[in-house]
Amino acid sequence: MVSAQDNVISATGLRRAYGDFEAVRGIDFAVRRGELFALLGTNGAGKTSTVELLEGLAPPSGGEVRVLGHDPYRERRRVRPYTGVMLQEGGMPAQLTVAETVRMWAGCTARPRPAAEALELVGLAGRRDVRVAHLSGGERRRLDLALALLGRPEVLFLDEPTTGLDAEGRHATWELVRELRTGGTTVLLTTHYLEEAEELADRLAIMAGGRIAAAGTVEEIVGAHPATVSFRLPAGWLPGDLPPLPALGVTGHELAGTAVRLRTGALQRTLTEVLLWAQDNGVELAGLDARSASLEEAFLKIAGAAADDRRAGPRERPDQGAGAAAYATGPVRTDERNAR
């Protein structure tokens, strides 16, 4: 018997190349039994390329994958009876009905669930005689999930399972995935919804440019990023009137007129010092705001840093979070840049 702490999925030095382009550039991670592990990343980060290696759809160009102790590509017969897969996009013949699709899959599955049960799980019981062509995008995603669950898998791969679902469908899917996890299923999920990873994942890895840029629990990843304190100084006060910033635990800052934004790895200390200074000097700090980093901020910084590394040199990024991207190269350089 296997203890709960064994690795059900492991990747070591994993690489995948398409011709000259290397989509996965040497990644390592492990997923333990019963754990829900999320791979996060922007489009093109290498998530799907990685998951396809784990699913055994292609051999890696370097490194090693193990699922349940076996190579999922070369030893597919030893792995496939225990895995369920939901690809990023459908893959169901448009002119089959929902029931016919499930029946086809059941015929290729060890100990399948009854079709009615599988459809009930995803809320499609009332749509069994509808052709796939006539399902909504969200319904197709749910049918795909039903197929993935048909064999009561021990390991479930979900590639962006809620893309195209409305809020209600997304929450229903989350609930189902949570129940499966509670039942002991090991789940590997990719998503570009940060909220989804925050809701579901025990641990996650953020991929950028084919590499894992950060990994751990949500708390660990967020904790590695600075919190922010922001406020506006009243007329007559200048940022230079503040106590020396390093003494406040501040690691970076932005100034825009009277608006001040401080970054700190010690939020409580920085906030206390700022408030004491304000009280001692009788200063009213307008728009005072103090917050820990969010997963979104952490994500944008990590993804942005990786993008900057690849481009070799700073440049304007008109897309996603200009502020976060400006800090992408790290607090020290950030300070230099902002000081100008």
Subset of residues 273 to 292 that bind other proteins, contact rule: CB under 8 A: none
Q: How many residues bind other proteins (CB under 8 A)?
A: 53
Q: Which residues of 300-332 are buried (b: 16+ CB within 10 A; e: fewer)?
A: bbbbbbbbbeeeeeeeebeeebeebbbbbbebe
C-beta closer to other proteins: residue 56 or 249: 56
Residue type, 41: G
Residue 30 interacts with other proteins (CB under 8 A): yes or no: yes
C-beta closer to other proteins: residue 48 or 251: 48
In angstroms, rounded to a whole number, what is the distance separating the alpha carbons of residues 31 and 45?
20
In angstroms, rounded to a whole number, what is the distance separating the alpha carbons of residues 111 and 50?
28
Identify the residue whose tokens are 């990024």.
Answer: 317
E strands, 33-122, in order: 36-41, 62-67, 83-86
Range in contact with other proteins (rule: CB under 8 A) among 81-89, 135-143, 238-246, 319-327 = 81-89
Shortest distance, position 323 Cβ to other proteins, whole Å: 31
Range in contact with other proteins (rule: CB under 8 A) among 90-98, 222-230, 250-258, 301-309 = 90-98
C-beta closer to other proteins: residue 64 or 241: 64
Subset of residues 169 to 228 that bind other proteins, contact rule: CB under 8 A: 203, 216
In angstroms, rounded to a whole number, what is the distance separating the alpha carbons of residues 202 and 217?
6
In angstroms, rounded to a whole number, what is the distance separating the alpha carbons of residues 77 and 100?
25
C-beta closer to other proteins: residue 76 or 261: 76
Shortest distance, position 93 Cβ to other proteins, whole Å: 6
Given candidates 17, 25, 26, 32, which one binds other proteins under the rule CB under 8 A? Answer: 32
| Per-residue three-class SS string for 40-57 | EECCCCCHHHHHHHHHCC
C-beta closer to other proteins: residue 33 or 170: 33
C-beta closer to other proteins: residue 15 or 80: 80
Range in contact with other proteins (rule: CB under 8 A) among 108-116, 249-257, 294-302, 316-324 = 108-116
Tokens matching residue 124: 């499609």
In angstroms, rounded to a whole number, what is the distance separating the alpha carbons of residues 228 and 290?
6
In angstroms, rounded to a whole number, what is the distance separating the alpha carbons of residues 218 and 244?
32
Determine contact, residues 281/304, Cβ cutoff 8 Å. Answer: no
Subset of residues 131 to 170 that bind other proteins, contact rule: CB under 8 A: 147, 154
The strand pair at 286-291 and 21-32 is best described as unpaired
C-beta closer to other proteins: residue 89 or 168: 89
List interacting residues with other proteins (CB under 8 A): 1-2, 5-8, 10-12, 18, 30, 32-33, 55-57, 64, 66, 68-70, 76-78, 80-83, 85, 87, 89-96, 100-101, 103-111, 147, 154, 203, 216
